[in-house]
Amino acid sequence: MGTPQKENEGKGFFSAMSSRFSNAIRSVNGLLGYEGVEVINPDGGKDDVDDELQRGRWKPEERDGYWKMMQNYIGADVTSLVTLPVIIFEPMTMLQKMAELMEYSHLLDQADESEDPYMQLVYASSWAISVYFAYQRTWKPFNPILGETYELTNHNGITFLAEQVSHHPPMSAGHAENEHFTYDVTSKLKTKFLGNSVDVYPVGRTRVTLKKHGVVLDLVPPPTKVNNLIFGRTWIDSPGEMIMTNLTTGDKAVLYFQQCGWFGAGRYEVDGYVYNSSEEPKILMTGKWNQSMNYQPCDSEGEPLPNTELKEVWHVADVPPNDKFQYTHFAHKLNSFDTAPRKLLASDSRLRPDRYALELGDLSKSGTEKSSLEERQRAEKRAREEKGHKFTPRWFELTEEVTATPWGDLEIYQYNGKYTEHRAAADNSGSIDDVD
């Protein structure tokens, strides 16, 4: 078997870009006229193992040991139960992953500026879809340490802050704001490990307020499935509905993410409508979450109106060629201090030694630092329990509100406003250290 091409290197953990199985299928594709069509094998398999070993990701004994360990967790929620090797990680935390939603925040600016309530949903739902280009990366981000934070500034006038507010279960809270909108999220992931795949359920709440008209939008995303975790080529699918509701008017966008089939049929495709409060379609939307989204006015039957045309509302930005982690230019900025404010909090993800070591390519040091951080977190938990203390987030407060989601109830954290005071004090100081 030949060596994989260099252009395919670095496209996800456990990934194999060619295999005996897929080579055979590609031969058939040529006969059927499907040459060049991406092949997705929903069942995975072990035929890709040799190629993965050639890429140097896993030694046979490492893979076998990992598989034996993970078999004990089949059917379980493995969000924070398992210590994972850094070889499957990307140099980014979940808090930074949350911040990637801000890459195309100009769409929320446009939603705020629009006087058309249906177009507000077109812009805002396209913004929600845009982050799925980043979600297709199959590297795992680091789990944040309890109390860890991430700050983002110098992008579209936005101030973004996220904090890890709970360790068991893992929960994060985020707040972002500029002159056009505020964004508030309580994020909690629920997983189900199925052996060679894992289902991820977004048990969270996302609210966006458009400042000009006081419009409040609520987002319910679809679940995600990570396929071929251990054997086969790893890939991600998010079949199901995304619903964004205008809580002010009752209008909503309902967009269906198509399930990927054999030969990649339907993969990335998103279709749906913006409905008024009477559930009549007003605007149809169609596109691919890894490329672009388009819209067109429609009649009450969902058919395009005469003398109208499909218009693009969003397309993915240019990405660096052959990037090891498939990062966009914006994703690289998330690790840069160019997007950090003055007086960066000492708890910021950029400063994590395990993340930084991985960014430099030192897997050994990254693994050692990761273990050290996890042990320190366990020690701090024991110390709190011995004293009868309970962890209290610094920038967010637990409310009495509990909201129902399709995958379970969720306690809501809200931004307490103290970071705004902190930032004002920091900006008036000459130091770059944490205020505390």
Q: Is residue 326 in a domain?
A: yes
List of residues 6+ apart from 233 with CB closer than 8 A? 12, 15, 16, 17, 19, 22, 41, 44, 48
pTM listed for this prediction: 0.81
> Which pLDDT does position 64 carry in this prediction?
61
Nearest to 215 by CA among 313, 104, 119: 119
Q: Is residue 364 in a domain?
A: no
Whether the pLDDT of residue 383 is over 70: the answer is yes
List of residues 6+ apart from 90 with CB closer than 8 A? 137, 139, 140, 141, 325, 358
Whether the pLDDT of residue 43 is over 50: the answer is no
Range(s) of the domain holding residue 241:
86-351
> Which pLDDT does position 157 carry in this prediction?
94
Q: What's the domain count of the chain? A: 1
Q: Is residue 344 in a domain?
A: yes
> Which pLDDT does position 11 carry in this prediction?
37
pLDDT tier for residue 20 given thresholds of 50, 70 and 90: very low
Q: Is residue 388 in a domain?
A: no
pLDDT tier for residue 12 given thresholds of 50, 70 and 90: very low
Tens digit of each residue's pLDDT (9 = 90 or more) over 219-232:
999 888 887 776 66
Q: What is the mean pLDDT of the chain?
A: 82
Q: Is residue 241 in a domain?
A: yes
> Which pLDDT does position 23 carry in this prediction?
38
Output the domain CATH number for residue 235.
Answer: 2.40.160.120
- The listed range with the strongest mean pLDDT (7-21, 65-79, 303-317) is 303-317
Tens digit of each residue's pLDDT (9 = 90 or more) over 55-100:
444 555 565 666 566 666 566 666 655 567 788 789 999 999 999 9
Three-state DSSP class for 102? Answer: helix
Q: Is residue 110 in a domain?
A: yes
Tens digit of each residue's pLDDT (9 = 90 or more) over 320-337:
888 888 889 999 999 999
Query: Mean pLDDT throughout 367-389?
Result: 92
Q: Is residue 386 in a domain?
A: no
Whether the pLDDT of residue 140 is over 80: the answer is yes
> Which pLDDT does position 435 carry in this prediction?
43
Contact 130, 292 (CB under 8 A): no
List of residues 6+ apart from 298 with CB closer than 8 A? 273, 281, 282, 283, 284, 304, 305
Helix ranges restricted to H, 35-86: 49-54, 60-71
Query: Mean pLDDT throughout 293-313?
Result: 96
Contact 228, 236 (CB under 8 A): no
What is the distance between the alpha carbons of residues 86 and 354, in angstroms, rounded to a whole number? 9
